[in-house]
Chains A and B, each alone.
Chain A
Amino acid sequence: EVQLVESGGGLVKPGGSLRLSCAASGFTFSSYSMNWVRQAPGKGLEWVSSISSSSSYIYYADSVKGRFTISRDNAKNSLYLQMNSLRAEDTAVYYCARVTVGATYIDYWGQGTLVTVSS
């Protein structure tokens, strides 16, 4: 069974930093591209970032480019999101999501971790 478990969320002040982690199990993690998707309270889903299976290709939404860094450790079956210079508008539930082998859609989601940016 595919499982994605996020951790690392919490309350942080504007301008602060936070590192999210996603522990993957139930599939060959090193074979799949992975994404982060976020959802602000009461709002819709927003694609944040993607990383290819070997970390060769990395992409970001314009809203986080230059502030967030996605990475992965295939030996540890883990995905990360380093978030710096956080703003109030970054407040959201952050989901770790697996992209299917063809890399054309997201097929599995974690349960999410809440990040709150507030003074």
Chain B
Amino acid sequence: QSALTQPASVSGSPGQSITISCTGTSSDVGSYNLVSWYQQHPGKAPKLMIYEGSKRPSGVSNRFSGSKSGNTASLTISGLQAEDEADYYCCSYAGSSTFVFGGGTKLTVL
């Protein structure tokens, strides 16, 4: 149950695109196309942004997209906006109704 690996921080200017990576193992990210991504603003609960690798829940902007290659999943945010500044966490299904999270990435919009 080792945490998935994410960069501690990323930054970008308004209008730019950024990508956050999430590296796991063949037991979690590599075994299932079941990575989800969550946005968390300070003092708030996490919010689902991407599920099952690349699907967006209703109401989430199409500026958010997800992908996966091997043991690494990625979240891309295009057309950065000030309100995108938050912490982002990846999460992978790890079998038997268990989950493993990444360490989180702080996104700064410059």
Interface residues of A (CB under 8 A from B): 33, 35, 37, 44-47, 50, 52, 57, 59, 61-62, 95, 99-100, 103-112
**Whole-angstrom distance between the alpha carbons of A20 and B46 in the complex?**
19
Q: Which one of A46, A59, A109 lies within 8 Å of B46 (CB-CB)?
A: A109
Q: Judge if B34 is at the interface, Cβ distance under 8 Å.
A: yes
**Whole-angstrom distance between the alpha carbons of A109 and B32 in the complex?**
23
A52 and B103 form a contact (CB under 8 A): no
A59 and B93 form a contact (CB under 8 A): no
Closest 10 CB pairs of A and B: A44-B104, A105-B36, A109-B45, A45-B101, A47-B99, A105-B51, A50-B97, A44-B103, A104-B34, A104-B93
A104 and B101 form a contact (CB under 8 A): no
A45 and B91 form a contact (CB under 8 A): yes
Q: Judge if B57 is at the interface, Cβ distance under 8 Å.
A: yes
Q: Judge if B69 is at the interface, Cβ distance under 8 Å.
A: no
Residues of B within 8 A of A50 (CB): 97-99
**Whole-angstrom distance between the alpha carbons of A99 and B47 in the complex?**
13
11 contacts between A and B (CB under 8 A): A33-B97, A35-B99, A44-B89, A44-B102, A46-B3, A47-B98, A59-B98, A95-B45, A99-B97, A106-B36, A108-B48
**Whole-angstrom distance between the alpha carbons of A110 and B97 in the complex?**
19
Q: Which one of A47, A57, A107 lies within 8 Å of B51 (CB-CB)?
A: A107
Q: How far is the CB of B60 from chain A (nearest CB, A)?
A: 12
Q: Judge if B100 is at the interface, Cβ distance under 8 Å.
A: yes
Q: How far is the CB of B103 from chain A (nearest CB, A)?
A: 5
Q: How far is the CB of B41 from chain A (nearest CB, A)?
A: 12
Q: Which one of B3, B45, B91, B93 lies within 8 Å of A112 (CB-CB)?
A: B45
Q: Which one of A45, A59, A105 lies within 8 Å of B52 (CB-CB)?
A: A105
Q: How far is the CB of B86 from chain A (nearest CB, A)?
A: 13
The residue of chain B having its C-beta at the shortest distance from the C-beta of A108 within the complex is B48
